[in-house]
Structure 1
Amino acid sequence: MRWIHSVLFWSFFVATSAVLFFVGLVIFLVTWPFDRNGRVLHLFSSAWAQLYLWVNPGWHVQMEGRERLPWHGPAVLVSNHQSLGDILVLYGLYRPFKWVSKASIFKVPFLGWNMYLNRYVGLVRGDKESIARMMAECERWLDRGVPVLLFPEGTRSLDNQLKPFKDGAFRLALSKGCPLIPIVLTGTGDTLPKHGLLLKYRARCKVRVLEPVDPRAFSDVVTLREHVRDLMVREKSRLDA
Structure 2
Amino acid sequence: MRLLFSIAFWLFFAVSSTGLFLGALVVWAVTRPFDADRRVLHLYSCFWAQLYFYVNPVWHLKVEGRERLPWKGAAVLVANHESLGDILVLFGLYRPFKWVSKAENFKLPLIGWNMHLNGYVPLVRGDRESIIRMMAGCERWLSRGVPILMFPEGTRSKDGEVKAFKDGAFTLSIQQRCPIIPIVLTGTARTMPKHGLVFQNSVHARVRVLEPIDPAGFAGDVQALRDHVRDVIVREKARMEAER
User: Hey, what's the Cα distance between the residues in 2 that align with 1:152 and 1:196?
Assistant: 26
Amino acid at match of 1:13: F
Amino acid at match of 2:132: A
Question: 1:195 deviation in Å?
Answer: 2.9
SS at 1:18's partner residue?
helix
SS at 1:233's partner residue?
helix
Question: 1:213 deviation in Å?
Answer: 0.2
TM-score (norm 2): 0.97
Aligned residue pair count: 241
> 1:70 corresponds to which residue?
70
Alignment of 1:162-201 (within 5 A): 162-201=162-201
**Are positions 1:99 and 2:99 aligned together?**
yes
User: Hey, what's the Cα distance between the residues in 2 that align with 1:201 and 1:108?
Assistant: 27
**Are positions 1:110 and 2:110 aligned together?**
yes
Question: 1:194 deviation in Å?
Answer: 2.4
User: Hey, what's the Cα distance between the residues in 2 that align with 1:215 and 1:60?
Assistant: 34
Alignment of 1:22-171 (within 5 A): 22-171=22-171
Question: 1:60 deviation in Å?
Answer: 1.1
- Deviations 1:144-181, CA, capped at 9 Å, x for gaps: 00000000000011101100000000000000010100
8 Å CA contact 1:156, 1:194 repeated in 2: no
User: Hey, what's the Cα distance between the residues in 1 that align with 2:5 and 2:83?
Assistant: 18
**Are positions 1:238 and 2:242 aligned together?**
no
User: Hey, what's the Cα distance between the residues in 2 that align with 1:120 and 1:191?
Assistant: 23
> 1:12 corresponds to which residue?
12
Give unmatched runs, 5+ long, in structure 1: none
User: Hey, what's the Cα distance between the residues in 2 that align with 1:3 and 1:106?
Assistant: 29
User: Hey, what's the Cα distance between the residues in 1 that align with 2:183 and 2:87?
Assistant: 13
Question: 1:196 deviation in Å?
Answer: 2.2
User: Hey, what's the Cα distance between the residues in 1 that align with 2:231 and 2:46?
Assistant: 29
Amino acid at match of 2:165: F
User: Hey, what's the Cα distance between the residues in 1 that align with 2:197 and 2:156?
Assistant: 16
8 Å CA contact 1:61, 1:206 repeated in 2: yes
SS at 2:99's partner residue?
strand
Give unmatched runs, 5+ long, in structure 2: none
User: Hey, what's the Cα distance between the residues in 1 that align with 2:55 and 2:85?
Assistant: 14
8 Å CA contact 1:185, 1:236 repeated in 2: yes
8 Å CA contact 1:191, 1:201 repeated in 2: no
User: Hey, what's the Cα distance between the residues in 1 that align with 2:83 and 2:148?
Assistant: 19
Question: 1:63 deviation in Å?
Answer: 1.1
User: Hey, what's the Cα distance between the residues in 2 that align with 1:129 and 1:198?
Assistant: 37
Query: What RMSD over aligned residues (CA atoms) do the two structures have, in Å?
Result: 0.7
SS at 1:67's partner residue?
helix
User: Hey, what's the Cα distance between the residues in 2 that align with 1:4 and 1:215?
Assistant: 49
Structure 1 segments of 4+ aligned residues over 4 angstroms from their partners: none
Amino acid at match of 2:133: R
Tell me the percent identity.
Answer: 65
User: Hey, what's the Cα distance between the residues in 2 that align with 1:56 and 1:160?
Assistant: 23
> 2:206 corresponds to which residue?
206
- Deviations 1:20-65, CA, capped at 9 Å, x for gaps: 0010001101100000000000000000111001111111111110
SS at 1:237's partner residue?
helix
